[in-house]
């Protein structure tokens, strides 16, 4: 292996970790998509701190990565990578960093790949086994999903309307569904066929309004399939049937369904167990060729990096891989498997993100000696699937987040703010990070007569303008300004559902601020203790209600922030975290040696 582990004796020449004497440090090879001290992003900061601190503890750490500092999501649905750093090897922070150029996909090819992935997702939603799986998860749950065949709802003068394709499916659950009724607006002639609960009913359609009403056996879940049949067969038929409402009798009461509750909305706020199972099915059923194209959409596509990793892994004790949905997961797994090295994956897993379920990436994760997922919520999701998940998590240096380092009054003065409460949002500006919900929360507060402001900090990603009274978007800022933003704020609002740890919570708590996080995010649920260091919320109205409570109770808000800071100092210091991670790496290496060789090294990587 190149490094020696021996049982601890009475004469310890270096130091001990657990039950082993470290005769020499580990030789670690990290494969990641970008790396550097100044790169914005929680994952990047974590990897930098982890690697440099492991190096200072006597381990040899090499990082193989790209020349990129930034990447951008193209309108065609693939990542574009820049070439900020020069290629080659150099020492950074006591570690060797080897960088390689990235080849961006040609737009036409990227469009073709993206269309193929999207087409597969649409086809899978029409798979009867997939529909049955969703129905099983909605069994007895008062929820529903307009799974496919429905356009985004429009607001008409008398309420919402959702145009329907020729075939559309609604999956719904409840305690005892005994009837369904729906209203449509039709602008042509045809037939509407409703298949639901083993029944098939047909209705004649003419221009105007039509209401349908169907009695059902009381069941806890069912699938309703709507078929719109027309006599005219034209190549392009514009939508001619719009759904106005659907109501179901569940037990003794009727409830009206939200037309906006589509597949994307269900992934955002439905059962996390259901979302994970459905997305795993999506990944497992993806053909290998399509999985390879999905990996190329996200990249980094760097032949030089792949070749170097495959070559240099031979001299490592263990290989580390980061992160989903990047192709570096597969690169690291191929190299570790060739040379029979233990792989430690750091996927930074987002349970509700379909792009985190690519089949080939999960082959790497399943084959890993250990998988760092940061918190117990993710461990509980992955361990039942046979994945060796553990949760050490990232650390923080309280000296970097000291409330005494910054005065929020100077930033308030520059922005023209007086004593009004300030909600702070920090993150990469894309929809998944919840900034739009934060803006909606501010609007609700101002409608209630609370003269609050929203301060947004983080790099631009989606290119959408933020124009709303009371909103200040600062974009990417230097560290001092970030500290000023925390100091100037009343609370942190972070409605993101795509998080592996929510590092901004730790920053806010260390700065003495309470937090508002998403109840639909496993990472947030693992950190926020309701009513003690913050609140978990479900929608903008809920965020506004909790924010108002904190604004009107400054003493309780300060106490929540103080509790958060005390907990972070006690449990999240970097030294303790790195020591725990170091011990885990030694354990994984020892287990790998104990299991013995997995076979002779491969002559070449599998295709």
The per-residue DSSP string of 416-452 comes to T--S--EEEEES-BSGGGTHHHHHHHHHHHHHTT---
> What domains, with CATH codes, occur in the chain?
5-105+285-390 (3.40.50.2000), 142-270 (2.60.120), 404-571 (3.40.50.2000)
Secondary element (H or E) of residue 522: helix 522-527
Distance CA 515, CA 529 (A): 10
Q: What is the mean pLDDT of each run of 10 residues along the chain (607 residues)?
A: 38 39 79 93 93 96 97 91 96 96 96 96 93 95 96 94 95 95 91 91 90 91 91 58 96 95 94 92 94 97 98 97 97 97 97 95 96 94 94 94 90 94 94 93 97 94 85 93 96 95 95 97 95 97 98 97 96 94 97 68 36
Asked whether the bond before 301 is cis by omega within 30 degrees of 0, the reply is no
Query: Is residue 515 within 8 Å of residue 416, measured between CB atoms?
Result: no
* 60-66 and 95-100 beta bridge pairing: parallel
Any idea how long the chain is? 607
Secondary element (H or E) of residue 557: helix 554-571
Distance CA 148, CA 266 (A): 12
Distance CA 445, CA 452 (A): 7
* 453-457 and 515-518 beta bridge pairing: unpaired
Note the Cα 318 to chain centre separation in Å: 27
Give the pLDDT score at 20: 38
What are the φ/ψ torsions at residue 376 (nearest 5 degrees)?
-65, -25
For the record, the structure tokens of 125 come out as 């939603």
What one-character-per-residue DSSP string does 329-393 give? HHHHHHHHHHTT--EEE-----TT-GGGG-HHHHHHHHT-SEEE-SSHHHHHHHGGGT--EE---
* b/e burial code for range 553-565 (CB count within 10 A of at least 16 → b): eeeebeebbebbb
Give the pLDDT score at 431: 84
β-pair partners for 213: 181
* b/e burial code for range 508-524 (CB count within 10 A of at least 16 → b): bbbbbbbbbbbbbbbbb
For the entire predicted model, the pTM comes to 0.89
Indicate the DSSP class of residue 396: B
What are the φ/ψ torsions at residue 53 (nearest 5 degrees)?
-75, -35
Indicate the DSSP class of residue 398: G
Query: Is residue 173 within 8 Å of residue 147, measured between CB atoms?
Result: no
Does residue 95 sit in helix, strand or coil?
strand
Radius of gyration of the chain from its Cα atoms, rounded to whole angstroms: 27
Give the pLDDT score at 232: 58
∠ CA 242-126-272, nearest 5°, is: 95
* 79-81 and 154-156 beta bridge pairing: unpaired
What are the φ/ψ torsions at residue 351 (nearest 5 degrees)?
-60, -25
């Amino acid at each position: 292996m190149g490094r020696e582990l021996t049982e601890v004796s009475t004469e310890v020449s270096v130091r001990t970790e657990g039950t082993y004497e470290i005769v020499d440090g580990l030789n670690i090879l990290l494969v990641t998509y970008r790396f550097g001290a100044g790169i914005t992003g929680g994952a990047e900061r974590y990897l930098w701190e982890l690697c440099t601190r492991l190096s200072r503890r006597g381990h040899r750490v090499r990082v193989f990565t790209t020349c990129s500092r930034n990447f951008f999501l193209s309108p065609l649905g693939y990542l574009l990578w820049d070439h900020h750093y020069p290629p080659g090897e150099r020492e950074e922070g006591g570690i060797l960093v080897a960088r390689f150029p990235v080849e961006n996909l040609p737009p036409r090819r990227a469009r073709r790949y993206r269309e193929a992935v999207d087409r597969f997702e649409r086809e899978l939603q029409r798979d009867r086994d997939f529909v049955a799986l969703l129905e099983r998860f909605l069994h007895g749950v008062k929820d529903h999903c307009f799974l496919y065949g429905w356009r985004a709802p429009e607001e008409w003068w008398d309420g919402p309307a959702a145009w329907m394709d020729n075939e559309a499916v609604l999956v719904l659950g409840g305690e005892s569904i005994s009837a369904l009724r729906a209203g449509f607006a039709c602008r042509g002639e045809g037939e509407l066929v409703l298949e639901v609960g083993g029944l098939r009913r047909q209705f004649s359609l003419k221009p105007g309004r039509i209401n349908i009403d169907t009695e059902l056996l009381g069941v806890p879940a069912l699938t309703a399939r709507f078929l719109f049949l027309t006599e005219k067969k034209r190549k392009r038929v514009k939508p001619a049937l719009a759904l106005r409402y659907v109501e179901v009798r569940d037990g003794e009461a009727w409830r009206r369904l939200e037309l906006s509750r589509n597949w994307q909305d269900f992934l955002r706020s439905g059962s996390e167990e259901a979302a994970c199972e459905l997305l795993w099915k999506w990944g497992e059923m993806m053909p290998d060729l399509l999985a390879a194209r999905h990996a190329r959409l996200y990249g980094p596509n760097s032949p030089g990096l792949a070749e170097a990793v495959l070559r240099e892994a031979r001299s490592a004790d263990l290989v580390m891989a980061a992160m989903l949905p990047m192709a570096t997961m597969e690169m690291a797994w191929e190299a570790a498997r060739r040379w029979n090295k233990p792989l430690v994956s750091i996927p930074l897993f987002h349970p509700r993100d379909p792009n985190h379920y690519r089949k080939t990436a999960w082959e790497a994760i399943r084959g890993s000696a250990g998988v760092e997922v940061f918190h117990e919520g993710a461990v509980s999701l992955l361990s039942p699937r046979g994945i060796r998940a553990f949760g050490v998590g990232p650390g923080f240096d309280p000296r970097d987040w000291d409330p005494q380092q910054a005065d929020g009054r100077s930033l308030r003065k520059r922005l023209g703010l007086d004593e009004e409460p300030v909600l702070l949002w920090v993150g990469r500006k894309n929809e998944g990070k919840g900034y739009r919900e934060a803006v909606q929360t501010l609007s609700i507060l101002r409608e209630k007569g609370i003269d609050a402001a929203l301060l947004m900090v983080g790099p631009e990603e989606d290119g959408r303008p933020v124009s709303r009274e009371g909103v200040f978007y600062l974009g990417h800022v230097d560290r001092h300004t970030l500290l000023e933003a925390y100091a100037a704020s009343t609370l942190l609002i972070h409605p993101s559902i795509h998080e592996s740890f929510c590092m901004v919570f730790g920053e806010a708590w260390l700065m003495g601020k309470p937090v508002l996080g998403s109840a639909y995010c496993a990472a947030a649920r693992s950190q926020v203790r309701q009513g003690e260091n913050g609140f978990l919320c479900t929608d903008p109205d809920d965020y506004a209600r909790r924010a108002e409570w904190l604004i009107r109770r400054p003493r309780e808000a300060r106490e929540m922030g103080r509790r958060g800071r005390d907990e972070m100092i006690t449990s999240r210091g970097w030294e303790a975290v790195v020591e725990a991670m170091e011990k885990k790496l030694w354990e994984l290496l020892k287990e790998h040696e104990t299991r013995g060789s997995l076979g002779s090294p491969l002559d070449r990587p599998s295709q």
